[in-house]
Each structure stands twice: as structure tokens, then as C-alpha cells.
Chains A and B, each alone.
Chain A
């Protein structure tokens, strides 16, 4: 087994939990399959930031620093990673299935002419991987042939990695040509929020079409979200209707979350929604329809009109929290 390389996604030099989770998957892979665990920090002016990853028991932290890498762009980042992989005897590339991970890894795999497994939830000792298919209706055991294996992992399936021995930082030299730089960053319209991020929060409160409007999200759901110190999520129907921004969508084709506590409020529980939250430890459903499928997976189900129940819920939560 060659080395395991973890793509260490960062946001302006900060490493989110999803990156620490990928490092954990990398260390687990090394434990089961052998090799060394390396991290790759890619960007412009990120040498200092890379220091933050030296204390996690990795073998090396590789830094690819180039002005062309200032903004994440699939073509130039894929070129950079492919070069790092070739130069460091990498046989397994790992990143978390974030928007960037999903965009980047298949491009790297195809550049190397190798296959990829997406959304891996288990790295097995025999070298196979476990991943969901069909909106989580099926779990597949898959193998990958080829000199390099590429996997994206589900952030909910691994823990954030713990501190460990110090690793050295090593600069890598890249040669990026014009053919790798056809894409251009234009702008990022950030949705600012003071709440915890959906994929990192201990509690998630999601609203669905039952909320009926964006205003109702603000008047009914948000006070509960904030009383719990939770992150806010939504069903596709709520996002499509424009009640809340798209990055709150939980589900098969949105974000996958597995918090300690998940509230589904006015959400029917379509399989595509369940695919994104059914691994939550405790699930609460509030729905006026006793037959709603969400109740079949909810640990605690409350059949009620949400417009009456949610304000009460918020008050009770506040009492407990003092």
C-alpha cells in the first residue's frame, strides 16, 4: 500500500470540521490498509495555515502554494492534486463530500484514469468500501481497481480526528500550465448566519412545506432554532418554494446530517429527505398528519398543528435552558 493523501479543504485558511473528519478517515485507512497518512493543503499564501494541521499524527503536511490556486477552481485544483499524487506515491485519495469535494475528486480521478467511490461510509479491512445508493435504500460494498483509488467520504460517518504526533510541513512544487487554468472565479454570494453550520451542529431543526412561507420560518421556526442553539435545515420543497436558501436543503441531493437531535417540522418524510437525516441519533417529528411517513422513523412523534406546537415548544425549551 502506498500513501493515503487527504485533501484538506480550507476556507480562507481555516479548516472546518469536515476536513478533520477526512483526516480521521485517512488515519483509519492507514490503520486498516497500511501506508502513511499525508494531508494536502492547496491554495495561495497557505503555508501559515497549514501549520494548523501539524498536530494530528500525520506523516507529512504537504503545501501546494501558487497564486493560481487563490480561489478554488476545479480545473487548476485537479491539476495540482494529480501532480501531488504522482510525486508522493499516493494510492488512496480522500476528501469529504462537501460541495468542493464532490466537484473536485471525480475530476482528479479521471485525470489519473482511475475510478472513484462517492460518499463512502465505511473503509473495510479487505480494501473494499461501503457506500449508499438509491437515496440510501441500498448499501453497496464496492471495490476499486487501479494504482490509485479515489474516495469521497460522508462527513457524518467519521469523527473529527484527535491530536497526535507532530508532522513536518513540506512544500511541493507544481507546474500548472494554461490548459489547466480555463476557469475563472467571478464572485461568491455568501449566506451569512450566526448559527452553527448545518453539518457541524449538535442539534438541527428543519422545516418543510408545512411552514407555508419564508416569513413563517422567521416567526415560528427560527425562535425554536435559536432557543436550542441549533442549525436550521429544510426540505427540498421549502427551498424550491424560496422559503429559505438552497444550502439548507437536507437530503439525497442536499446535505447529509447526523446530529444528536433532529427536528422535522412540517416535513412529510419523503425517502429523499430521509436519505439526508435518518442517521441522526434522536429524531423528533412535528406533523399534523398522523400518517406522515416521517413518523415511521421518528423516535418521538408529535401529531399537532405546527403553528400551535412550535411556539409552545420554544417556550418549554427556554424554561429548561433557564
Chain B
């Protein structure tokens, strides 16, 4: 099976994010960048599918500035076969991302798309659903388990939803977005890193794809959130319960 996996470069979830004083963006000095954690899970899943089926291809796609090749290289070191880099300096909303990805899908004709459920920078949780709509493909978001039919032409996906686990099914092609519990991504091995150096990262320009990438969602201003101040430490359980009862009046 040929699987396309999307990879976004995002600030490390461990890093502290601050808003620039003029509200035009975030402070990027000293911020480390990584593969969006959900996309790492997506890559892992695609690799497992290929290993299990004993064949196929895992192709990575990332849209962004030249530096995203760092994250693509990491994904290749994990074991993906090749990568596509769509060069675009401008900030994109999820719809613009989905429009570009739709063109890549047209060119590559994969049977399966695996994406992250959410990019941890914009926290949008949109691109997978939007891409599925543009392609007219079925979608399974928040996936925690995939099961392919014997002929590999359809899939059943277990999804983490409110109140339990839902299973849906569809014939491929389709879009799947990974949730946290789908798998535990592997680390790139040393031989993997060596091999990745020789793997192809193909660059494509936005103009080649002929897509309107004007973002419909525009960020006007960023501000820091209201700070919640920590209160007091209490010494005993009894004191805590007293305060909750008489001061905070919540129990």
C-alpha cells in the first residue's frame, strides 16, 4: 500500500512559548523545533502498515520554509522511503494546507493518507478533515487502532470519541488522523540516520501546484493569556477541607 504521511514542523512541546511584545508572533529565539508529535505517530503507523503488509511505500510531505527538511530527514531516518517538500514561506491556515495537499495527492495517488489529528502550534485540528472533504474521501479522525481487510482494500478504524470508542469502516482511499494512543513512535536508529542521507527529498513550489493559498483565517493579534496566580499552601487535609468549605465555599 502506498501511504502519504503529512509532517509539520512545530515548536518542541517542552519549550516555553511567549508572545512578542508587539503581538505579531511568538518569540522564536531558543525554541527547538520537532516533528508535530501526532505526525510522528502517523509516520510510525505508516511504517507498521508497510512492515505488516510486507510492501508498499511511505511518502512524507511537509509544507513550509526550507528548514522543514530537518523534520523530513528525521522521518526518513525513522524509515519512510522518500519525502516531498512544498516550499512556502507564508503562514497558512488549515484550508490552504489542505488545498496544497490535495494537489500532492492528485500527483501521488496514495491509497491512504495518515496525518496528525492536530498541530500543537495552531491547535486547529482541521487539516485532515478538510483534505478528506476536498478529495471526497472518507475520514477517520482521532484513530487509536486500524484494521485492514485481508485484500487491503478497506479499513476499520477505532476512534477515541466522547464517552467511549467508536469503530467505523470504509473502502480505501481514505484519510486517517492519529491520536495519542495509536502507537508509540520509534526512534531513528543510527543505520536509519545514515540511510536517510541518501533518500530523496523532492522540492515543489506552490506555483507549480497552482493553488490559491490565501488564508481565510487571519491572525490579527496575539496576546499572552491571563495569568492565574497560585494561591496558598495548606498544611493539613483538615485545613484544606475547612478552606474549601468556609472560604471558597465550593464544598
Contacts and interface: CB of A to CB of B under 8 A. Distances in A.
A236 B164 contact: no
Given A252-B120, A278-B228, A179 B136 contact: yes
B88 to A, nearest CB: 17
Interface stretch (B60-68, B189-197, B237-245): B237-245
A133 interface: yes
A297 interface: yes
B169 interface: yes
Contact of B224 (A110, A139, A191): A139
A100 B164 CA distance: 13
B71 interface: no
Interface residues of A, number: 90
A282 interface: yes
B165 interface: yes
Contacts of B214: 145
Interface stretch (A21-29, A39-47, A111-119, A166-174): A111-119
A261 B251 contact: yes
Given A98-B162, A142-B217, A272-B13, A284 B244 contact: yes
- Summarize A's interface: helix, strand, loop or mixed: mixed
Contacts of A184: 168-170
A276 B131 CA distance: 27
- Summarize B's interface: helix, strand, loop or mixed: mixed
B215 to A, nearest CB: 7
Contact of B180 (A118, A253, A309): A253
Interface residues on B, range: 35 or more
B211 interface: no
A162 interface: no
Contact of A139 (B18, B159, B168, B225): B225
B123 A118 contact: yes
Interface string A271-304: 1100000100111100000100001111111111
Nearest to B167: A186
A102 B216 contact: no
A142 B129 contact: no
A103 interface: yes
Contacts of B136: 179
B159 to A, nearest CB: 8
Q: Counting chain B CB atoms within 10 Å of each CB, which of A75, A136, A316 scores highest?
A: A316
Contact of A110 (B19, B134, B229): B134
B139 interface: yes
B73 interface: no
Contact of A303 (B17, B131, B233): B233
A11 B163 CA distance: 11
B174 to A, nearest CB: 8
Contacts of A119: 123
A99 B243 CA distance: 36
Interface string A246-281: 110000110000001100000000011000001001
Given A74-B139, A118-B124, A136 B129 contact: no
Given A99-B161, A283-B228, 13 more contacts: A107-B129, A115-B93, A134-B123, A135-B17, A137-B16, A137-B17, A183-B139, A239-B181, A247-B161, A253-B117, A261-B250, A297-B229, A317-B241
Interface of A: 11, 73-75, 78, 98-100, 102-111, 113-119, 128, 132-146, 179, 182-191, 197, 203, 228, 236, 239-240, 245-247, 252-253, 260-261, 271-272, 278, 281-284, 290, 295-304, 309, 312-313, 316-317, 320-321
